[in-house]
Structures are given as structure tokens and as C-alpha cells.
A and B are shown apart, each in its own frame.
Chain A
Amino acid sequence: MEEVTAKVFRYDPTADGAHRYETYEIPYEKGMRVLGVLLYIQENIDTSLAFRYSCRRRRCGSCGVVVNGKPGLACMEEAKKEMVIEPLPNLPIIRDLVVETEEYEERIQNISPYLVRRKQPEQEPEKLLPRNFATVRPLNQCIECFSCMGACPVNGINWKDFSGPTTLVQLARRLLDPRDDMDRIPDALRAGFVHCVACYSCVNACPVEIGVLEGVIENIRKTYIENERVGYAKYNKTWKDIVVENGIVNPFILMRRTSNINSLLSNMLTGIKFILKGKISLGSKRIPNHEEIRIIQKVIGEKR
């Protein structure tokens, strides 16, 4: 590879009517990163190119961009033979690859992203067992680069009920800290953790390899259930039971088992419409081969 080609997103909202892509040819250097490509352009071809960077080793989280459709850090992503380099999605463009992240910072500000203790330890430094911090330690690595926010499809539809993976990582950092005394669940609900669709996009995008799903969302969910927020816990468990029983979730059965009488009555009219149109059935239909689901459940059960 002697040369690489980079198609770079360019846009100045104060001057240009619309964005454009410019193509640059750059001499390849052994081990070259995308940041090296951007710096080469800025120093040798077009000195007006704007992007952010600082530490050059995934510590600061400044250089989040999208390379060939995948969000990540420019300092870590490998330079490819052909690249399209774009700003992180879903955010206003300041210029070229620089985005306005104020919205995300506000979401983080809204979940009280700091340690809250009712009383200070009697002696300092206090005794803290590393094993009690095993779940929280990896989350402290989050550098708020917002790569996961760019990758998350739920965040992508710009739905204000979901604060996105970075916000939930920051929330879980405090929730899972054994020293923290604040009830974080109301914030977690407001941040909409239940809307995560568990697609692993955030996990794949994270440059510091945080397990957003198992490490964050699942732990928030677990805390929520352990704290006897029965409504949600019951719903969750019923859903799983029905899947095991029938292989398919029948909304009627789900409603019947999880809702109280008032809720059932208020939804009756919709239910009847659905039944008449054949969208739901009253009986419990099973999918073919549903025995396999029991086997899967058994295997998962044994693994745990």
C-alpha cells in the first residue's frame, strides 16, 4: 500500500449551503492511523481541514469520527486503502469533522455524574476491596468519545426518551460503585435504559472495550429488579416464561398475566379490535420445534 485515498466530509455551516466530500491521496506510512491521514491532509494538502484530537492514544476521547460507516477514534482506527471519513452522526456540525456535543453533555449532567455519599468514611484512606469494584472498574475507562452514541440505532432515531449508551455508562459508574448512596434508578428510568435493544452496536464501537451491554445495561436492570421494582421485574420474568412455554409471545397472555384489572379493562377495546383483525389470538399457540427452546434454556441455565 503506497497511497491511501480518503474521502472527507467537509462543511462550514457559516459559508456553505450544503456539505460536500473531498478526496485526498495520501502517502501511506507503516501502521498509519486515520488520525495520521487527517494530520497529513491538514499539514500538506488542505490546511483548512477542521477536526479535534489531543492525546493520540485513546485517553482523551477527542477524535471520534466515522470511518467507512463505523464510529471510532481516529487515533486508533487503521488507515485503509480507501476511506470515507465523516463526523459522528446525529449531532450538529460545527465545521468539517467537528461536532457540537453539548446535547450529550447535558444528558450526562442530568444523571448526576458524581459520587454521592451520605456520610464520609471514618478514616482515610478507607478499606476498599478490589473485588467489590470489579464491575465498576472497567466503566471508569469511559472517555466520553461518543463513538457508541454514533453507533447506537436507538440513539440514532433521535428519540428523547433514550439518553444513549454513554449516559448509561456514566450512570452505571456511580450505580455500581459500592460507595455511592444515591438511588440511581429514577435517573436510569428517565435515561430510558429499558429501551436498549441489545444489538451490541455500542460494544463493537467502544475503543476502550467497555461491555456496555453486560457491564452496564444488564447491571442497571439487575439493580432495578433486586430493588423490588416489581412491575418491571414481573413483566420481564413473564415475558421470558411465555417464550419458554410457547416459543412466541402472545400479547394477550402477557397482558393477562402482568396487568391489573383496570389496565385490562382500559385496553379491552383495542384488544377486541386486534382479535377481530386476527392480530392476536386468545389461545396459546406454540411455534413448531418449540422443544428446542427448552433445550436452549436448559443449556443457558447450566452455564449460569
Chain B
Amino acid sequence: MTDVTYKETDVLVIGGGLAGMRAAIEAHDNGAAALLTLKGKLGKMNAGICSYHCAAVGPWGDPDDTKELHLKDVIEAGGYLADQELCKIMIEELIDRVLEFEKYGLMWDRDSKGKVDAYLGAGHSKPRTLSTWMRQGGVDMIHSLRSEIRRRKIPLIEDIMATRLLMNAGEVIGVTALDYLNGIFMCIKAKSVVIATGSHHQTFPVSTAPPEGTGDGVAMAYRAGAEIMNMEFVLFVSTPAYPRTFRGTLVPTLFKVGDETLHLLNARGERIMERYDPEHLEMATKDVIARSLQNEIREGRGGGEEGDTLYADLRHLPYEAARQKLTDLVFCMEKVGIDIRKELIPIRPATHETLGGIRINKRCESSLAGLYAAGSAVGAIYGNDGIPGRGTGHALVFGKRAGENAVQRALQMDMVSIENVMGQVDDEKKRVFRPVERKSGIRPIMVLRDLQQTVGKYFRVVNNERDLKEGLKEILRLREEKLPNISLSSNTKRFNLEWLKALEVENLIDIAEIMFRTAMMRKESRGMFVRDDYPERDDKNWLKHIVVKKQNDEMRLMAVPVELIHMKPGEGD
């Protein structure tokens, strides 16, 4: 069997997006040896790059804006399922995270007088959303952090996937990983480990977020016994109907060009939102829009071959302004020959964001000693929906905190010997190499497709007990029947993406099981989470987080009451 390559560091950061890079920078600046590992290339594989903006209360926008107002917006958008303590911290610290970017070489949009120009993001009560030229906020933030990693020459291992947390006496003391570029099994010893591996939208067939989001860190933490939460929450949006590679480009509904929004039309040319929310129309909340679109399709008013296509109408918008605001969408549509001034954009429903992840406290500690988490790998602290700038802000604030607190632990302790965990390393090596050594069986891509189709079919905008149960049954069947038979078409150990996929699909199956089980447990409807068998919001019984934990090889689900320390439902109105 192949050898194991050993490495050691004070703080190991897994994941190279906004949260991971920010954590690595903080760990390095606080005097620890930091090591950043990621699946892919630095600054290229992450969801942050797809984002547009960040939001913070600061010396811009409306002078009457306050952090309290921002907090209220966030908590209300999240259906009162926000962790209010963490949200308050986030809003307090956002301003520093935003401003430090200008030290890193980014420039937030300025007006002609040179002042920072904030705009009103949907769901924000005041203009406090910041972006950069041509709405490239995400790209610029990622590039700025990458340049800071380069400035500090922080050690980096690209193209590796972490596979298992090594546990010694209840503490995390490192990870095992597969260097899939060279086919080498690695064991990285660390005093503290930060998981910043992003979300798990690859459980769904179509998503705006990039393909590497396979919940690796969350699944790994769950298997090691960490508490995870909010796994039942997913955000749905729509994206262009074709070609398939542009199906990841968001069609943003909640925006205005001047006083106008885009219009959503059905196959008959009727403006869809006039039927469902004549007051707000396309400015209705995301959940209302997602439900309306799904209903139009279900009632047969969709177009296209499958009857699942609706249309976005941008024809009435001033062209230049629309192009400036919707850079990606307009650019991609023009590439395929759609003139937005004359033609409709065919759109179909898609997934935008999965909100579940590791449960953290304000020090970014998970329930396992030595394990920290940040970014989308964290169960969304803002509840079950969010307002623009939530994801980036969350990643930056808690990325920094994770780095800082991971160092504090690392500097206080000696390196733990891995003698005791060699059994775990051997077991994991066997598991990781199994697919590449198996002679015949099912291709991982087939299992992934089955999984995505199951989740796409049974975990939708509107759910019910029957569908969820059916979906869960399918997922469990996949695990029983397909997973043990995965084999690869090529047994090369050199950049074998099928091998990677085999490991990812295992993570996704664990995640999907948790998603179905938690969604079945939450017997209510709230914001983007909708069940037609429990259509009402139930504040009496469900102002609760569903926390999941693996105990004695069983999945344990707990409903933990939300602590309403700053705001209670009804108070804000």
C-alpha cells in the first residue's frame, strides 16, 4: 500500500475561500505557523468569487443607519432563527472587515466626490451594501485576500481533499487528506484545525454555487461527532434555462434599475407576480417568488420542452444600466445570442445556497475541542434566509475569529503525538483507496447523478412528509446498494477526478440524509422553508434550531430553543 506523507503545523486551515484565507491570514499574523490546504487552486475554487457584495453600517449610505437596524434586518430576514449573539458580533465587526480590504488593495465603489458609495440591497432597510467596479465584489475580495496570502508567503497545499478528523481523547489533533494531484495519502498534525470548506449545494442538480461545494468539512465533522445545525434550510432561485453551463448564473429578482425591476413571465406572457403578490411584485421576498414560480410550473403555465421554463423580461430596462447591474447574466446571455433589449431570457428554478453546517460559538469553536469552523461550513448564524452581503460578511468576520482563536489554543499547547491515532490513519487510508483499487462496479458520477436527482425531486421549494420520507428512503438505498460498489474507469492516481468524486459522493450522501431527516422534523413553514402539510409558521414550538450529532453510530436530532436575547418576534414591528 502507498506510503503516508506526514506534515505538521500549529493551525491547519482547510478551505481556500473568503473564510479560509481570512483565517489563515489571522493565524499567521498572530504568530502561529499556519498551513492552508484546499481542494483546487487558491483564489479559484470557492463560492465567494461568485458573490457581488458585502454589507456593513459605516460612514456611508444614510447617516441615520445604525447597527441595531442592521441587526433587526438580519434577524427578521432569517425568520427569527438567527443566533442573535453571533449576529450582533458579526454586525459589530463587519465595518473593520470591510475597511481592511482597502489596505489589501481593493477599492469599494466611490461616488464622483470620492466617498464610498453604498446601495440599498434587497431586504436592507438602509443603503449599506458595498460592491466594486462592475459588481465584481466577490472576485475583488477573493483576489485581495489571495494577495495577502502571497504577501505573507503563507504555506499552502493545493489540490488536496481532507477526508477525516483525527480524534484523540475527544480532541481533534489533525486530519488525513488525499493529495489527488499526486495520489498521495497525507496525515497533517495540527494543534487546532479550522474547517472552512464551504457548503453542500452539490446535493442538488442545479446550483449557482461552484461544483466543489460537496460538504466535505461538514460531513467530516459530523462523522467525528461534532454538532451541526440548520441542515433543513436551502435557498431557491432561478437561473437561465440553457446552456447547462450557464445554469449557474443567478437571475437576481430583488434589485432595481432606476425604479424598475425585471419582470417574470409565464409561457402565456402573463406577469407571474401579479397573480401572487400584486403589491410587491418582483420585489417580493425570495420565498414568495420561489413558491410562485414553482406553482406556475405545476399548474402548467411553464414553457419549454419539459414545461418547466419561465421567462425573465429585461426589455423595458435601460440597457446600459441593466448591463452594469447584472453584469454576469447579461454577459452570459449575450454570449449565447440573446439580446436582452428584444428577447426574453428563459429561466428555470435552481438552488442558490445551502445554509446548514457546523455549530459554532462566538469563538468559532465547534463542539469538538480543537476544531473551529467558519464560512459556509458553519450552520448559518443568520437563520433560514439572509439579506445581500450575509455570506461574505459571515465568512470574513468568523474567518478572522476562527484564525484568532485557533492560534490562542495552538500557542498554549504542545504538539500531540499521533501514536495513539495510527489505527484511525490506517482505517482511513483503506477507505480512501478502496474506490481506486476496486476492479469493477458503478461509476461515482452515476451515484452522484442519482443522488442529485433524488434530492432535486424530493427536496423542493414546497415539501411534505411523504416526499421527504420517499427521498430519505432513496438516499439510504443509495448508501446501501451503490456506495459499496463504486469503482473508477481509470485507476490512475494522478489527478483522478473520479476518485475525488467517489469520496465527495460519500460526503454528500451523509449530508443528504441529514437534510431529509431535519426537514421531516421541522413541522412548520417559515420563510424559504415550506411544507404544505404544515403551512403555518409556528413560533410556539419551532423557534428552535435543529441540531444534529452522531452518537454511538446513531444520528441524534435535537431541537434547541433559539435564544432571543436582542429581539423577539413581533417586537420589531
Partner-B contacts on A (CB < 8 A) = 12-15, 29-33, 35-36, 39, 42-43, 46-48, 50, 52-62, 75-76, 78, 94-95, 98, 101, 108-109, 112-115, 117, 120, 124-131, 133, 137, 140-141, 143-144, 173-174, 177, 179
Asked if B49 and A59 make an inter-chain contact with CB atoms under 8 angstroms apart, the answer reads yes
Asked if B103 and A140 make an inter-chain contact with CB atoms under 8 angstroms apart, the answer reads no
Query: B335: CB under 8 A from chain A?
Result: yes
Asked if A29 and B449 make an inter-chain contact with CB atoms under 8 angstroms apart, the answer reads no
Asked if B104 and A115 make an inter-chain contact with CB atoms under 8 angstroms apart, the answer reads yes
Residues of B within 8 A of A174 (CB): 105
Assembled-state Cα–Cα distance A95/B249 (Å): 29
Contact of B249 among A57, A112, A113, A177 (CB under 8 A): A57
| Dominant SS among interface residues on chain B | loop
Asked if B110 and A129 make an inter-chain contact with CB atoms under 8 angstroms apart, the answer reads yes
B148 to chain A, nearest CB (A): 7
Residues of B within 8 A of A141 (CB): 134, 136, 139
Residues of B within 8 A of A48 (CB): 488-490, 492, 496, 498
Assembled-state Cα–Cα distance A294/B497 (Å): 60
Asked if B112 and A62 make an inter-chain contact with CB atoms under 8 angstroms apart, the answer reads no
Residues of B within 8 A of A114 (CB): 104-105, 147-148, 150-151
Residues of A within 8 A of B332 (CB): 57
**Residues of B108-141 contacting chain A, CB below 8 A:** 108, 110-116, 132-134, 136, 138-140
Residue from B113, B246, B489 having most chain A Cβ neighbours under 10 A: B246
Query: B337: CB under 8 A from chain A?
Result: yes
Asked if B246 and A31 make an inter-chain contact with CB atoms under 8 angstroms apart, the answer reads yes
Asked if B245 and A39 make an inter-chain contact with CB atoms under 8 angstroms apart, the answer reads yes
5 further interface pairs, Cβ-Cβ under 8 Å (given A33-B335, A125-B108, A133-B107)? A46-B489, A47-B489, A57-B50, A94-B494, A130-B111
Q: Smallest CB-CB separation from B41: which chain A residue? A: A62
**Residues of B10-43 contacting chain A, CB below 8 A:** 40-41, 43
Residue from B110, B115, B136, B181 having most chain A Cβ neighbours under 10 A: B110
Q: If A33-B245, A54-B40, A144-B43 touch, does A128 touch B105 (CB 8 Å cutoff)?
A: no
Asked if B140 and A140 make an inter-chain contact with CB atoms under 8 angstroms apart, the answer reads yes
Asked if B132 and A140 make an inter-chain contact with CB atoms under 8 angstroms apart, the answer reads yes
Assembled-state Cα–Cα distance A179/B102 (Å): 10
Assembled-state Cα–Cα distance A140/B102 (Å): 13
Asked if A60 and B49 make an inter-chain contact with CB atoms under 8 angstroms apart, the answer reads yes
Asked if A130 and B40 make an inter-chain contact with CB atoms under 8 angstroms apart, the answer reads no
Asked if A95 and B43 make an inter-chain contact with CB atoms under 8 angstroms apart, the answer reads no
Assembled-state Cα–Cα distance A12/B488 (Å): 15
Asked if A94 and B181 make an inter-chain contact with CB atoms under 8 angstroms apart, the answer reads yes
Residues of A within 8 A of B445 (CB): 42-43, 47
Residues of B within 8 A of A124 (CB): 99, 102
Q: If A115-B104, A129-B110, A177-B105 touch, does A55 touch B493 (CB 8 Å cutoff)?
A: no
Q: Smallest CB-CB separation from B338: which chain A residue? A: A31
Q: Smallest CB-CB separation from A120: which chain B residue? A: B103
Query: B252: CB under 8 A from chain A?
Result: no
Q: If A31-B337, A98-B495 touch, does A128 touch B248 (CB 8 Å cutoff)?
A: no
Contact of B105 among A12, A36, A115 (CB under 8 A): A115
Residues of A within 8 A of B570 (CB): none
Residues of B within 8 A of A42 (CB): 445, 497
| Dominant SS among interface residues on chain A | loop
Asked if A109 and B150 make an inter-chain contact with CB atoms under 8 angstroms apart, the answer reads yes
Residues of B within 8 A of A78 (CB): 335
Asked if B114 and A127 make an inter-chain contact with CB atoms under 8 angstroms apart, the answer reads yes
Contact of B210 among A55, A140, A179 (CB under 8 A): A55
Q: Smallest CB-CB separation from A14: which chain B residue? A: B494
Contact of A60 among B103, B105, B210, B489 (CB under 8 A): B210
**Could you jot down 11 A-B contacts, CB within 8 Å?**
A12-B494, A29-B242, A31-B335, A53-B211, A57-B50, A57-B332, A59-B139, A76-B335, A95-B496, A130-B110, A141-B134
Q: If A42-B445, A127-B114, A174-B105 touch, does A54 touch B45 (CB 8 Å cutoff)?
A: yes
Contact of A62 among B44, B102, B498 (CB under 8 A): B44
Contact of A54 among B103, B211, B443 (CB under 8 A): B211
Q: Smallest CB-CB separation from A145: which chain B residue? A: B44
**Residues of B221-275 contacting chain A, CB below 8 A:** 242-246, 248-249
A214 to chain B, nearest CB (A): 18
Assembled-state Cα–Cα distance A92/B500 (Å): 22
Asked if A140 and B492 make an inter-chain contact with CB atoms under 8 angstroms apart, the answer reads no
A148 to chain B, nearest CB (A): 16
Asked if A130 and B112 make an inter-chain contact with CB atoms under 8 angstroms apart, the answer reads yes
Q: Sorted from nearest, which 7 A-B pairs have the closest CB atoms? A: A31-B336, A115-B105, A48-B490, A127-B114, A31-B243, A114-B147, A114-B151
